[in-house]
């Protein structure tokens, strides 16, 4: 089924405008027939944030912004799905065009600007599918014109706690002016204190929902020191490393398209995001798990991210170029690696190369 879907859809979607293709992909997923996914190799199971993941491969936020197709994605083999970014009120985002393919680089630039339906419709969709199970996280953000962005995050935690498997506090999108300032130590400390208070306030009714922090790959190491210190002191449940980058590597082939404003994702982000995973891993010292995101487009890339320090991984941009069959390909490669090396679980290799990676020259 997945091979057929990729064969039919990829050429068509690549021919369309990038945002129109994205919309069509969501509609196509909603029409997929219900089917039971093949069981995952038991060795791929991951225990993290108090949750049991059947496999470590997740759909990153930004694809299913409005929780329209999380169950279709789970049926296609993802171990978990992260919907959003959701803001309290609906917003249209930045003017189009705002999504660009860099074909020769297998990359994407976006300046979407948290376009989404707002909390109420997304909540209704998640409540309607709650009985299906599966791990569906909710990525939350602030409205662009909000006068109190911290209050936006608090409201969303309180709203979605009954239906979220976990929360991701997104303060690292480059497409909402001033949002990344929330990564500064004092502001971050205040935000996390209030977010975690909100989570604890509603947990008697909703359970103890894990809260993860998603950071930018563009932080300096001094800034990363501060972020990890605050995250550890406030006892968040995990971190996602990393969002899109404002940097433009010198190796990009699509130089004209690379001048578009917005965050860069896909293959060119792999080295920087992996370095940031390793740098974060050595600073966290096992206090909580990490989710590695950025440029994962093969089983080998997934393995590298895990050995850098990621307990779980997420995909998005690579699916534009590789198709949904990439999910099964990565899982097969990871299972084969465990079998070949005589290991019983991926946890045995998480962070195995972190120290080595942090000693390498900085990616440019």
**From 165, 173, 311, 318, active-site residue:** 173
Active site residue 173: yes
Instruction: Report which DSSP code applies to 309.
Output: T
Catalytic residues: 173
């Amino acid at each position: 089924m997945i091979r057929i879907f990729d064969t039919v859809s990829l050429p068509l979607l690549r021919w369309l405008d990038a945002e129109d293709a994205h919309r069509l992909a969501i509609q196509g997923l909603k029409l997929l027939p219900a089917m039971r996914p093949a069981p995952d190799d038991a060795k791929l199971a991951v225990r993290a944030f108090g949750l049991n993941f059947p496999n470590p491969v997740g759909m990153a936020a930004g694809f299913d912004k409005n929780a329209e197709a999380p169950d279709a994605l789970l049926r296609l083999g993802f171990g978990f799905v992260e919907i959003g970014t959701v803001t309290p009120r609906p917003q249209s985002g930045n003017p189009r065009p705002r999504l660009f393919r860099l074909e020769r680089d297998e990359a994407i630039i976006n300046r979407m600007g948290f376009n989404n339906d707002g909390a109420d419709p997304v909540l209704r969709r998640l409540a309607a599918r709650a009985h299906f199970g599966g791990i569906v996280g909710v990525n939350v953000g602030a409205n662009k014109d909000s006068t109190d962005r911290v209050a936006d995050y608090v409201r969303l935690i309180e709203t979605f706690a009954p239906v979220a498997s976990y929360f991701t506090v997104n303060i690292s999108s480059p497409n909402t002016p001033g949002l990344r300032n929330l990564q500064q130590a004092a502001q971050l400390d205040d935000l996390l204190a209030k977010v975690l208070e909100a989570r604890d306030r509603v947990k008697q009714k909703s359970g103890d929902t894990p809260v993860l922090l998603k950071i930018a790959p563009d932080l300096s190491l001094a800034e990363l020191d501060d972020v990890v210190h605050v995250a550890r002191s406030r006892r968040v449940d995990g971190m996602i490393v990393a969002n899109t980058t404002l940097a433009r590597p010198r190796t990009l082939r699509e130089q004209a398209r690379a001048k578009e404003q917005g965050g860069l994702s896909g293959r060119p982000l792999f080295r920087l995001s992996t370095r940031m995973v390793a740098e974060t891993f050595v600073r966290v010292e096992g206090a909580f798990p990490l989710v590695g995101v950025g440029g994962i487009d093969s089983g080998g890339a997934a393995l590298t991210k895990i050995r850098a320090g990621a307990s779980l991984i997420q995909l998005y941009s690579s699916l534009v170029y590789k198709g949904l069959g990439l999910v099964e390909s990565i899982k097969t490669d990871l299972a084969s690696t465990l079998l070949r090396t005589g290991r019983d679980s991926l946890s045995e290799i998480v962070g195995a190369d972190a120290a080595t990676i942090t000693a390498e020259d900085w990616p440019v």
